[in-house]
Structure 1
Amino acid sequence: MPASILFSGHMIDKPDRAEPRFPPELVWVVRQRIHTAIASFVNSIPRDRILGFASGACGGDILFHEECRACGIDTVIVLPFPPEVFIQSSVELTKSDQGHWGRRFRKLWRETPEARREVMDLPHGDDAYARCNERLIGRARAHGQMHLIALWDGKRGGGHGGTADMVANADHEGTLDVFSPQSLKSRL
């Protein structure tokens, strides 16, 4: 039976974020934790039967795509806006892109077959992210049994379409693996 790994997670904190949620110094331990979550599927389901689903924001989404591909799992990227607009709103959040998120996003986008890239071309706003989440859920569910991995601090976000909404709306029929960046601090 085919399986879907649906991912939703926090973006890297902007330098001026008042309450840290996913500070850049946690990228390596978050990457390792995402890898562990993905690897559990590779051990029980043939790789060619698994497909990963996520958007493409800096932080969790990009790490998820990179780790799926490192494990030999193809992924689907769904964006609410055209890539260059999305990069401005959700990838390159500061003038100094220290994580090279823009370069990494563009590489993932280029290497993803056209049939596995979707641009919804929605008007900008929180509703666009909520609709993007709905599309990701629908595509993941259509592929096979859906498992959700969420990099989430357990708090409501600033608007619709964030990780809290994905966790609440995904109604997964498989496993649910939720962890926060802050919970991984001890692994530094």
Structure 2
Amino acid sequence: MTAIAVTGHLDLSERTVPLVRDELRALLAAHRPAGLIGLSCLAPGADSLFAEEVLAAGGRLVAVLPSPRYRRWLAEPDRAAFDRLLAAAAAAVVLPYREQSDTAYQAANAELLRRADLVVAVWDGRPGRGLGGTADMVATARQAGVPVRVVWPDGSARAAA
């Protein structure tokens, strides 16, 4: 069994999505479907792309949600994909935080790391904007000795704000 956790940006540009999807697909193809476990918080962007590709590869998806109210934090257009992925997950771990916060996101990252053999980071390599984000997860994984594979194909960019 190989458990792969994902961390990554929410705001991938439109042209970046297929580039990242292709690289994730190639990375996951190196693992036997029967032994593949994908760990994701199912956030929009990198987390959802990874979850979709784990399922497409025949792996098992485990959702790690920072709080029971996590869905409420999502923008309305992102809720259908979240609902679909959560329904397809083999298991869901829901952390007991009442609301979304840096503490809740750090706890979700800790749970991902506790279960992971590898972290896939869809990351532009830039410093983070706070605790619980992609850069923080990468640093924490590296400190814990969990291997990190950065996915940021040539031509990738974050969406303009």
TM range (shorter): 0.7 to 0.9
Q: Counterpart of 1:86?
A: 70
Give the counterpart of 2:152 among 180, 183, 187: 180
Note the C-alpha offset of 1:174.
Answer: 6.7
Alpha-carbon displacement from aligned partner over 1:103-161 (angstroms, at most 9, x marks no partner): 11101111223xx2011031431111011100111122xxxxx1221101112222111
Distance 1:88 1:23, change over 3 A: farther
> Which stretch of structure 1 is more off in the superposition, 56-65 or 170-179?
170-179
Aligned equivalents of 1:174 and 1:184: distance in 2? 27
Aligned equivalents of 2:83 and 2:10: distance in 1? 17
Distance 1:173 1:3, change over 3 A: farther
- Whether 1:109 aligns to 2:108 is no
- Whether 1:151 aligns to 2:122 is yes
Task: Give the AA of the match of 2:63.
Answer: I
Contact 1:9 1:60 in 2 (8 A): yes
TM-score (normalizing by structure 2):
0.85
Which secondary structure does the structure 2 equivalent of 1:150 belong to? strand
Contact 2:15 2:156 in 1 (8 A): no
Task: Give the AA of the match of 2:129.
Answer: G
Give the counterpart of 1:63 among 25, 31, 49: 49
Alignment of 1:1-188 (within 5 A): 2-12=1-11, 22-40=12-30, 42=31, 46-82=32-68, 85-89=69-73, 91-92=74-75, 97=77, 101-113=78-90, 116-123=91-98, 124-140=100-116, 146-171=117-142, 175-180=147-152, 183-185=154-156
Contact 1:37 1:149 in 2 (8 A): no
Contact 1:147 1:173 in 2 (8 A): no
Contact 2:24 2:50 in 1 (8 A): yes
Mind listing any 5+ residue stretches in structure 2 that lack a counterpart?
none
> Which stretch of structure 1 is more off in the superposition, 59-68 or 3-12?
3-12
What is the aligned-residue identity percentage? 32
Task: Give the AA of the match of 1:50.
Answer: L
Note the C-alpha offset of 1:184.
Answer: 3.3
